[in-house]
């Protein structure tokens, strides 16, 4: 059964990923109505469609795309889409699927087409291209206005993070954007991911304030987690039954004491970032930290 399949422990093991997707795709319902499709039910990835549609070339790359419906939606909305993954089996499967009619791929496609038209865009029915590629290596398909990676980048070991960051930066057009959507990334790992992107040459809006916030929170010694951009005290068994509830309340108050300065710094940095965001030259990276 598919439920017993596990993703490879070694993310750099191409053979293991090829075997995984062969087993994966042979065991699921190939209909896009299947829950096995990563449909981005909160539409987060789709929220960047406007960025792509307003860009000069509307050229978008989904590295490490996996079994995700989003590249199809971007292409049908009028973007020139490339999706890549290290599994040749998966890439071939997705290219075959790309020949399907729009009605078979996107739920409520008529409503989607109407919404696009309301915003001044036409439903163009372009076809995405899926290629086998390791995103730690240079990509030969030119520059992209928008790069979107969901979860695979965050899991890479350090040296692979460095290589991938360089690949993405080189593939981003001047003034382009790269979006990295993560899940359950906490603590030092956030800084490690950001450091590699900055070292590659990206500018991360708001990063100075976020680093300050995490540093002052770390200095308290309180065990915390970031949820929706703010620090919370999780229930991870760090408090005993003797006075633990009272200590938890005190710890929450200590963390909340930084809220105002955090918001003030954030507002100031947003104003400072304005000139960079609209200079048309800087390559921007956004790291989206989701929890769930």
- What pLDDT is stored for residue 42 in this prediction? 38
On whether the pTM is more than 0.75, the answer is yes
Give percent of the chain above pLDDT 90: 59
Q: Is the pLDDT of residue 25 over 90?
A: no
Tens of pLDDT, residue by residue over 60-114, are 999 999 988 889 889 988 899 999 999 999 999 999 888 876 666 666 677 777 8
- What pLDDT is stored for residue 81 in this prediction? 96
Structure confidence at residue 131 as a pLDDT band (50, 70, 90) = very high
- What pLDDT is stored for residue 104 in this prediction? 66
From 179, 206, 182, select the one nearest 271 (Cα to Cα). 206
Q: Is the pLDDT of residue 190 over 70?
A: yes
Based on its alpha-carbon atoms, the radius of gyration of the chain, rounded to whole angstroms, reads: 21
The full set of domain ranges for the chain reads 6-183
Cα 114 to Cα 188: distance, rounded to the nearest angstrom: 44
- What pLDDT is stored for residue 91 in this prediction? 95
Structure confidence at residue 35 as a pLDDT band (50, 70, 90) = low
Q: What are phi and psi of 38, to 5 degrees?
A: -85, 90
Q: Which of 26-40, 81-95, 116-130, 240-254 has the highest mean pLDDT?
A: 81-95
- Of 126 and 253, more confident: 253
Give percent of the chain above pLDDT 70: 89
From 171, 220, 173, 181, select the one nearest 70 (Cα to Cα). 181
From 193, 203, 188, 207, select the one nearest 156 (Cα to Cα). 193
Q: Which two tokens stand for residue 57?
A: 């070339």
Tens of pLDDT, residue by residue over 151-165, are 999 989 999 999 999
Tens of pLDDT, residue by residue over 206-259, are 999 999 999 999 999 999 999 988 899 988 888 877 768 889 899 999 999 999
Q: What is the enclosing helix (H) or strand (E) of 276?
A: helix 259-277
Q: Is the pLDDT of residue 198 over 60?
A: yes
Q: Angle at the Cα of 254 (from 252 to 260), degrees rounded to 5?
A: 100
> How many residues in the chain?
292
Q: Where are the alpha helices (DSSP H) in 172-232?
A: 188-200, 207-219
Q: Are 62 and 152 in contact (CB under 8 A)?
A: no
Structure confidence at residue 273 as a pLDDT band (50, 70, 90) = very high
Q: Is the pLDDT of residue 1 over 50?
A: no
What percentage of the chain's residues is helix, strand, coil (to nearest 5)? 45, 15, 40
Cα 277 to Cα 270: distance, rounded to the nearest angstrom: 10
What dotted CATH number matches 6-183? 3.40.50.150
Q: Is the pLDDT of residue 174 over 60?
A: yes
- Of 171 and 25, more confident: 171
From 52, 40, 64, select the one nearest 151 (Cα to Cα). 64
CA atoms within 13 A on the CB side of 270: 6
Cα 158 to Cα 143: distance, rounded to the nearest angstrom: 25
- What pLDDT is stored for residue 47 in this prediction? 78
Q: 141 to each of 6, 60, 63, 82, 130, how far by Cα in Å? A: 32, 11, 12, 9, 12
């Amino acid at each position: 059964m598919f439920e017993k399949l596990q993703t490879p422990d070694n993310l750099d093991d191409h053979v293991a990923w090829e075997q995984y997707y062969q087993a994966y795709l042979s065991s699921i319902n190939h209909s896009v109505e299947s829950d096995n499709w990563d449909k981005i039910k909160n539409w987060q990835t789709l929220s960047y469609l406007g960025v792509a549609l307003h860009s000069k070339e509307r050229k978008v790359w989904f590295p490490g795309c996996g079994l995700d419906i989003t590249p199809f939606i971007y292409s049908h909305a009028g973007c020139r889409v490339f999706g890549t993954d290290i599994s040749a089996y998966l890439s071939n499967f997705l290219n075959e699927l790309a020949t399907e009619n729009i009605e078979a791929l996107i739920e409520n496609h008529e409503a989607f087409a109407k919404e696009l038209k309301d915003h001044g865009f036409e439903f163009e029915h372009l076809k995405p291209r899926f290629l086998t590629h390791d995103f730690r290596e240079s990509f030969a398909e030119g520059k992209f206005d928008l790069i979107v990676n969901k979860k695979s980048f965050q899991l890479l070991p350090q040296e692979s993070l460095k290589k991938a960051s360089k690949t993405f930066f080189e593939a981003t057009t001047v003034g382009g954007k790269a979006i990295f959507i993560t899940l359950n990334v906490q603590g030092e790992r956030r800084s490690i991911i950001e450091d590699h992107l900055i070292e590659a040459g990206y500018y991360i809006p708001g990063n100075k304030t976020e680093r300050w916030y995490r540093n002052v929170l770390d200095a308290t010694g309180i065990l915390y987690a970031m949820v929706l951009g703010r620090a919370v005290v999780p229930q991870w068994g760090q408090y005993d039954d003797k006075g633990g509830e009272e200590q938890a309340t005190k710890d929450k108050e200590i963390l909340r004491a930084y809220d105002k300065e955090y918001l003030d710094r954030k507002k100031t940095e947003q104003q400072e970032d304005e000139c960079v965001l609209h200079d048309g030259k800087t390559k921007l990276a956004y790291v989206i930290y989701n929890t769930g």
